[in-house]
Amino acid sequence: MQRGSESKNAKAMQSKDEDDEGVALEAEDEEEHEETLCGACGESYTSDEFWICCDICEKWFHGKCVKITPARAEHIKQYKCPSCSNKRARP
C-alpha cells in the first residue's frame, strides 16, 4: 500500500470540468488523512510527501523515515515496517 504521488497521478483528469473535480477529490483526500500520523516520527500527513503503509500493522510511515523511496516501494510486494520486521515469529 502506498500513499503519495502515485495516487494523485491516478486522479489526473482530462477536461477542465473534470480537472475542477480532481481538485475537490484532492481536498477530500487531504481532509480524510489529516489525522494520520507517521509511525516513526509522529508528524502528520501532507500530500506532497511519499508515504508507505505496513502490511502487517497497517501503520503509515513517511518514506524518508523508513528509508524507502517511491521507486524502491514499487518493487516491494509486502512492506513490513522496522517494528514488525524486528518482531520474532511466535510458535
Lowest mean pLDDT: which of 1-15, 24-38, 42-56?
A: 1-15
> What global pTM score does this model have?
0.60
Strand order in the sheet with 51-53: 2-3, 51-53, 60-62
Q: Which residue shows C-alpha cell 487531504?
A: 30
Chain-centre distance for alpha carbon 83: 17
60 or 91, which is more confident: 60
Q: CB within 8 A of 3, min separation 6: which ones?
A: 33, 45, 50, 51, 52, 53, 60
Best CATH choice for the domain 2-86 from the list 3.40.50.2030, 3.40.50.300, 3.30.40.10, 3.40.920.10: 3.30.40.10
pLDDT tens track for 40-89:
999 998 888 999 999 999 999 999 999 999 999 999 999 999 999 987 65
